[in-house]
Amino acid sequence: MAPGGGSYQDVIESNAAFADYGIAPANLGYESSPSRKSAATCGKRGIASNTAVHELLECPVCLNLMYPPIHQCPNGHTLCLNCKSQVRNSCPICRQELGNIRCLALEKVAQSLELPCQYHIYGCQEILAYNTRLRHEQNCRYRLYNCPYAGAECSVTGDIKFLVAHLKDDHSVDMHDGCTFNHRYVKANPQEVENATWMLTVFNCFGHQFCLHFEAFHIGMAPVYMAFLRFMGDDHDAKRFSYSLEVGGNGRKLTWQGVPRSIRDSHKAVRDSLDGLIIHRNMALFFSGGDSQELKLKVAGRIWKE
């Protein structure tokens, strides 16, 4: 028997045993999935990327494709590395202790495959070797975006069209049309505000969406306010635009000009990089009238295409 042959046979048998343990076979819904149809016909070399091989490579717990290291129990049931760390070293199929047995035969089969990017339904046309697919998908320009809402942690992901609707319907974010704006920020007792995030505002401009953020925090010991813009799209497209922000009062003003950051960068990452209009609290209160009783700051801005 060839090395690893016994392990490979056990893995094939374990796929048929899913139903016996109440776990749905990985091929359910296969015919209706566009990504799986493409994968089944795109193999160009080595072992054909057919239905049976794809079933073998699907983790029975999370149903995602498994990447090396692929682990198996003594009975040959396989699962991915992420799920192995979550099942407390017990096989989810037969409850045997998992140990650290690698399914080298299945890993070798995986190396012969070519697959479409999982984001092909959003526009990615790449066909990738199995062992490079995961790395590509982590940086694919068509991968899903995180919700840009900054007022609270939100775990929702989606494409831009979905996230625009999500911001409007689930976060009640103000949506405005136009490439120029005047936005007013008011806060009573601003001396008591140490860290705060104002409601996000979204502007529809040049067929894209831009998120205006306004936050209060500290740079060292100095309390500051910061306004900045993020682009709802990829970094490559964000660099096609520029914007300016202006704030002032009592005959003085501060201006900022920059390039909007993609929402691939979290609002915290942008804030911590200080990539925006920084207004020290004393200056903000001076712009507000100088009485220190209320923050009344008007931020004017403009977005243009380079």
How far is C-alpha 243 from the geometric centre of its chain's CA atoms?
A: 25
210: domain CATH number is 2.60.210.10
Same domain assignment for residues 214 and 235 = yes
Tens place of pLDDT for every residue, the chain, 306 residues? 434 443 333 333 333 333 333 333 333 333 333 333 333 333 333 334 456 777 788 898 998 888 888 899 999 899 988 898 888 888 988 988 888 889 898 888 888 788 888 898 888 999 888 888 888 998 898 999 999 998 777 999 999 999 999 999 999 999 999 999 998 888 887 777 677 888 899 999 999 999 999 999 999 888 999 999 999 999 999 999 999 999 988 888 999 999 999 999 998 999 999 999 999 988 888 888 766 678 889 999 999 998
Residue where a domain stops, chosen among 139, 157, 190: 139
208 in a structural domain: yes
191 in a structural domain: yes
Contact at 8 Å (CB) between 137 and 113? no
94 in a structural domain: yes
The pTM (predicted TM-score) of the whole model is: 0.69
60 in a structural domain: yes
Domain count, the chain: 2
Same domain assignment for residues 189 and 260 = yes
144 in a structural domain: no
In sequence order, the β-bridge partners of residue 262 are 231
Residue where a domain stops, chosen among 89, 120, 139: 139
Place of tokens 């995030």: 197
Same domain assignment for residues 154 and 299 = yes
Residue where a domain stops, chosen among 71, 105, 139: 139
115 in a structural domain: yes
Sign of CA dihedral 223, 229, 234, 237: negative
Same domain assignment for residues 217 and 185 = yes
64: domain CATH number is 3.30.40.10
| Full domain range(s) for residue 164 | 149-305
Strands (E), 123-251: 127-129, 145-146, 157-158, 174-177, 180-188, 196-197, 201-205, 208-219, 222-231, 241-249
Same domain assignment for residues 128 and 173 = no
Same domain assignment for residues 248 and 297 = yes
Same domain assignment for residues 68 and 183 = no
Same domain assignment for residues 165 and 184 = yes
